[in-house]
Structure 1
Amino acid sequence: MSQTQSSAPTGGVLIVGSITADLTTFSTRLPARGETILGEDFTLVLGGKGANQAVAAGLAGGEAHMVACVGTDLFSNLVTDGLRSAGVNIEHVRSVPGPTGIAHIRVDASGENDIVMVPLANAALSEEQIDTAFADRAATSRVLLTQLEIPWALTQYAIRKGHEAGLTVILDPAPAAVLDDAIWPLVDIVTPNETEARILTGVPVTDTDSAIEAGRWFTDRGARYALITMAAAGAVLVSAETTLHFDSFEVDAVDTTAAGDAFAGYLGSSIALGYELPAAISRAIGAGALAVTKRGASPSLPHRDEVDAFLAERSVNA
């Protein structure tokens, strides 16, 4: 597979997933249980894995269409305005009574984080809403992106709809949970990190060989590709026939919060734009690397010009 953009027409990316308001605190270290410490900064921005991936897909050059729910509280305008300003189509984002989803994120001086996500309005997403979005957009889309911050039954429903519509189905299995094996033959690319791969497969991922073993678990169950991401150790693409390792890029990490979402959004958008898979993965790795150099979730997502320049400086063809 060559690492060039094909002549295929631009297609849309349907993102079925979560939207949250991200409340993030920054401190030198994370507090111990029962301890109060003083922090250094605080941000309140658009977040949620679905929304972050939609923003990343739009910044990557794709036509991003979000399918999700928000509340009727003070945060609803914050998140919908954030999506609109990033060029994401929100005609299938539904407003429901009650609070918008919330993510409480804590980031330490090394850039590592922990997150508590409260779904709230995200739990109101329905099959009917997904049906309407597919009826409107499936014919002009090439990729479905989905995650696990909405009810699993709806993630599974969206995956089935995407498969039936002939879209490339990409599942970011986060937050990780044990899933029904019947879903894997409907998934084209599953993109777990090391922790998610271990939870799903039972294989501790510590190096390339163990990543390949975990990847085989997915492909043995019918997934077309497993793309195991390993932070500084790069990523491993596994299919039933082959494996391919991708190196990471060395950067100074400030906040790792949205790195996986940058990766997923750029991967989906690049495939929709006609990039062949290795080139799409290289673009996604570059986007993820740039995302960790800035604070925040959606504010850290890089524009395609930044990613292309970053890759060009490192002589990566994408």
Structure 2
Amino acid sequence: MRLAPPAVFLLSSPSRSFAFRTAVAPRRGAAPLGMSSTPAPGGVIVVGSINQDLTVYAPSLPRAGETVLGTDFATSDGGKGANQAVAAARCLPPPPPPGPPRVHMVGRVGDDAMGSGLVGRLRGDGVGISAEGSTAGDGRHTGVASIAVDAEGRNTIVVSPGANLSLTPDDVDEALSGLLPRERGDGEEAAGGRDVVLVQLEIRPETALRALERGSASGALTVLNPAPAPEGWSLTGDWLRSVDVLTPNETELASICGVGPDEARGREEELARSLLDGGVRRAVAVTLGDRGALLVGRDGPATAVPAPPGEDGRPVVDTV
């Protein structure tokens, strides 16, 4: 195993919140409303969730049937998919004007004030997203996460996915047909670099799988953040054949490999290599909280990446 400098992993993201939890500063000069909806060649396409987070801070978390007075409240923008899209847009250099964005979001919000606000702020951060194409037409509300945080930083979270569940495999087919260069037949892939398709599991599993399959068929690098894993879901068959890079955290790694969390600790490289042997095509990047991350590829030694220090000098334990 070799050590790498501290870094921020874009390949896995917390379920909340790109408004204040990404470890990357907002990018200056983000593309304005009305920018092209087609990503630049060699760009990032995120297929996933868009949520509005509602967070109450309190001295303690309420027990069943108990009411607790809070000390503060915040609204913030989140969803694993939106977090990844914003982090990628802030990290990548902006395209020369009036060029298309380098990052595009494929997701669904409700036909409500929260949804229109989320879409506008995504676009303000340089993420390509169509306001009309991203609005669910079935009456579902924008996805919401209700979060309570106590004085020790512990939390409870209830997520109502809402419009995120309106994103269907057919929607993905339609969106990616216009976003993946090879499928447009314009030759941009060879000239501009390889596209990356990022997918998480806060949308329907069949929709996530379709995005990976379409990305793989187009020659894009496909990345799956397997969280949150739906009940009864397993990483087998079609999933393995369509994933270039898998980015579980340590708990998800243990679950996918069928071992307990305690049994998995210290065996991350071994378990990651078992997933490569099982079919993951290029690499497994395991996020380890305050222990950083471990990148295990098919060739060469594993690379350990320490958690970068935060503003207070403590390690950053959320990965985006």
TM class, shorter-length = 0.7 to 0.9
Deviation by residue 1:102-135 (Cα, 9 ceiling, x = unmatched): 1112223343433222111111112232122212
Structure 1 residue 131 corresponds to structure 2 residue 173 = yes
Structure 1 residue 78 corresponds to structure 2 residue 117 = yes
Q: CA deviation at 1:253?
A: 9.3
Structure 1 residue 227 corresponds to structure 2 residue 298 = no
* Alignment map for 1:15-34 (pairs within 5 Å): 15-34=46-65
**Which of the residues 75, 82, 85 maps onto 1:54?**
85
* Alignment map for 1:82-121 (pairs within 5 Å): 82-91=121-130, 92-98=133-139, 99-121=141-163
Does the residue aligned with 1:96 lie in a helix, a strand or coil?
coil
Does the residue aligned with 2:53 lie in a helix, a strand or coil?
strand
Q: CA deviation at 1:240?
A: 3.5
Does the residue aligned with 1:203 lie in a helix, a strand or coil?
coil
Structure 2 counterpart of 1:161, which letter?
Answer: R
Q: CA deviation at 1:10?
A: 6.4
**Which of the residues 241, 244, 264 maps onto 2:303?**
244
2:251 equivalent in structure 1? 195
Deviation by residue 1:187-221 (Cα, 9 ceiling, x = unmatched): 11111111211222223456873211321232121
Structure (1 or 2) with the larger CA radius of gyration = 2
**Which of the residues 125, 149, 152 maps onto 2:205?**
152
Q: Does the Cα contact within 8 Å between 1:203 and 1:214 map onto a contact in 2? A: no
Q: Does the Cα contact within 8 Å between 1:148 and 1:173 map onto a contact in 2? A: yes
Question: Distance between the aligned counterparts of 2:55 and 2:313, measured in 1?
Answer: 16
Q: CA deviation at 1:96?
A: 2.1
Q: Does the Cα contact within 8 Å between 2:89 and 2:103 map onto a contact in 1? A: yes
Does the residue aligned with 2:107 lie in a helix, a strand or coil?
strand
Q: CA deviation at 1:93?
A: 2.1
Where does the alignment leave 5 or more consecutive residues of structure 1 unmatched? 4-8, 263-318
Q: Does the Cα contact within 8 Å between 2:108 and 2:134 map onto a contact in 1? A: yes
Where does the alignment leave 5 or more consecutive residues of structure 2 unmatched? 6-39, 94-101, 182-188
**Which of the residues 103, 107, 125 maps onto 1:64?**
103
Question: Distance between the aligned counterparts of 1:22 and 1:243, measured in 2?
Answer: 36
Question: Distance between the aligned counterparts of 1:203 and 1:191, measured in 2?
Answer: 17
Q: CA deviation at 1:34?
A: 2.8
Deviation by residue 1:233-287 (Cα, 9 ceiling, x = unmatched): 1111123443221112343499x89x33x2xxxxxxxxxxxxxxxxxxxxxxxxx
RMSD: 2.7
Structure 2 counterpart of 1:123, which letter?
Answer: L
Does the residue aligned with 1:192 lie in a helix, a strand or coil?
coil
Q: Does the Cα contact within 8 Å between 1:191 and 1:228 map onto a contact in 2? A: yes
Does the residue aligned with 1:103 lie in a helix, a strand or coil?
strand
Q: Does the Cα contact within 8 Å between 1:205 and 1:211 map onto a contact in 2? A: no
TM-score relative to the length of structure 1: 0.72
TM-score relative to the length of structure 2: 0.72
Q: Does the Cα contact within 8 Å between 2:52 and 2:78 map onto a contact in 1? A: yes
Does the residue aligned with 1:144 lie in a helix, a strand or coil?
strand
Question: Distance between the aligned counterparts of 2:212 and 2:154, measured in 1?
Answer: 31
Question: Distance between the aligned counterparts of 2:249 and 2:291, measured in 1?
Answer: 11
Q: Does the Cα contact within 8 Å between 1:194 and 1:204 map onto a contact in 2? A: no
Q: Does the Cα contact within 8 Å between 1:100 and 1:121 map onto a contact in 2? A: yes
Structure 1 counterpart of 2:304, which letter?
Answer: H
